[in-house]
Amino acid sequence: MQEVKQRITILTSFLAIAAIAMLAAAIAASKTAGIVLTMVVAYIVFAVFLIGFVYRIIRWAISPVPFRIPTTCGQEKSLPWIKANPLECPFGNLGVIGRMAGEIFLFRSLFRNSKAELVNGRPVYGSSKWLWFFGLMFHVSLLLVILRHLRFFTEPVVPFVGALSSLDGFLEIGIPTLYMTDTALVAGLIFLFMRRVLVPQLRYLSLFTDYFALLLIASVAVTGISMRHFFPVDLNEIKTMTMGWVTFTPVVPGKTGILFYMHLCFVMVLIAWLPFSKLMHMGGIFLSPTRNMANNNRARRHVNPWNAPVRVRTYKEYEEEFREQMIEAGIPVESTGPGEAEKDKQD
């Protein structure tokens, strides 16, 4: 039952990819569709991405952070002779920046990952850094791959792209040179996907979007790598098209082939879908209140913009109820008779 459902989910995500690929093939076959895709849809996709992304950030930002709730992962700053941990438990902004940099560039929290297992009737916690390793590898590669693509969007090509590309391809395997980031990107994707499919617990909680997101990025990567290494396309035409985009003088590319249209369609789906998907974690991580706040709660007051009054029981009301008993027990009281509480309430 559950197995069948899971297989259907995985299958559906493959089918969705196949549908996009078929759509791309159809577009490649039709001149009109090609024009619409490259001259109109491209702009719509970019607008959706830009506006959608900013909208999501603003949407999050509008909701206030009523309380300062950092998760502390190290010693607080308290007495001067106790060594505080400025990164895992930052007291000031500098520490917060450091902590956030660690999270964003090094995936610090994921690096803590461990694996709990029951061995001989007791839980043991083994080190488990693979998710961190492949996750980081995947993300860094993806970033570098995107940066390398600037060669199609800038003229003259931004200088650092050349340096980056030669560094990336410094193994000089094959012609054109195999980029290490391409390999790492695919390796990362394979790990992340196989992990999701093979680990029963993970498969149990995975949704269609989880598989789809990985497959979509994989499709982008595979079509891209194919164009580079197996079915080369005329880059001149492609750059003419991309430069047409960024200079607002769109042109329809000449002969580029089905593979290129697939690459383009996968990228467009990815970009347009991103603001509405879990992939928004790339923006969201910056706003995470358990990470981006300093643990200086008791030293600097945090203000809650909607701090609403609640029903409280005043001391007067309390004493009113227990006065006799308090007097009897010899506990000091504010007044010896009733009636004060009523008066106080009006203040």
Cβ proximity to other proteins, 29 vs 207, nearer residue: 207
Residue 50 near other proteins by CB under 8 A: yes
Residue 198 near other proteins by CB under 8 A: no
What is the radius of gyration, based on Cα positions, of the chain?
29
Among 17-25, 74-82, 181-189, 337-345, the segment contacting other proteins (CB under 8 A): 74-82
User: Binding-site residue total for other proteins (CB under 8 A)?
Assistant: 148
Residue 85 near other proteins by CB under 8 A: yes
For 211-229, b/e burial (b = at least 16 CB within 10 A) is: bbbbbbbbbbbbbbbbbbe
Which residue blocks in 63-151 are alpha helix, DSSP H? 93-106, 108-111, 130-148
Residue 152 near other proteins by CB under 8 A: yes
Least distance between other proteins and beta carbon 36 (Å): 21
Among 17-25, 29-37, 162-170, 218-226, the segment contacting other proteins (CB under 8 A): 162-170
Cβ proximity to other proteins, 30 vs 232, nearer residue: 232
Please identify which residue in 29, 30, 40, 166 interacts with other proteins, judged by CB under 8 A: 166
Q: Please choose, from the candidates 261, 216, 259, the residue with its C-alpha nearest in 3D space to the C-alpha of residue 241.
A: 261
CB-CB contact of 243 with 155 (8 Å):
yes
Among 21-29, 34-42, 183-191, 301-309, the segment contacting other proteins (CB under 8 A): 301-309
Please identify which residue in 59, 337, 339, 347 interacts with other proteins, judged by CB under 8 A: 59
Cβ proximity to other proteins, 22 vs 208, nearer residue: 208
Residue 178 near other proteins by CB under 8 A: no
3-state class of 116 per DSSP? strand
Token pair listed for 101: 């940099």
3-state class of 117 per DSSP? strand
Token pair listed for 234: 């005329």
Cβ proximity to other proteins, 151 vs 263, nearer residue: 151
CB-CB contact of 116 with 124 (8 Å):
yes
Query: CB count, 10 Å around CB of 294?
Result: 21
Among 17-25, 31-39, 305-313, 335-343, the segment contacting other proteins (CB under 8 A): 305-313
Binding mask 328-347 for other proteins (x = CB under 8 A): xxxxx-x-------------
Least distance between other proteins and beta carbon 32 (Å): 23
What length is written for the chain?
A: 347
Residues numbered 14-43 forming contacts with other proteins, rule: CB under 8 A: none
Please identify which residue in 79, 336, 337, 343 interacts with other proteins, judged by CB under 8 A: 79
Residues numbered 227-286 forming contacts with other proteins, rule: CB under 8 A: 232-236, 238-240, 243-244, 246-249, 255, 276-281, 283-286
* Helix, strand, coil fractions of the chain, as percent rounded to 5: 65, 5, 35
Cβ neighbours of residue 15 closer than 8 Å, sequence gap 6 or more: none
Residue 119 near other proteins by CB under 8 A: no
Token pair listed for 88: 């895992």
- Bond before 156 cis per omega within 30 degrees: yes
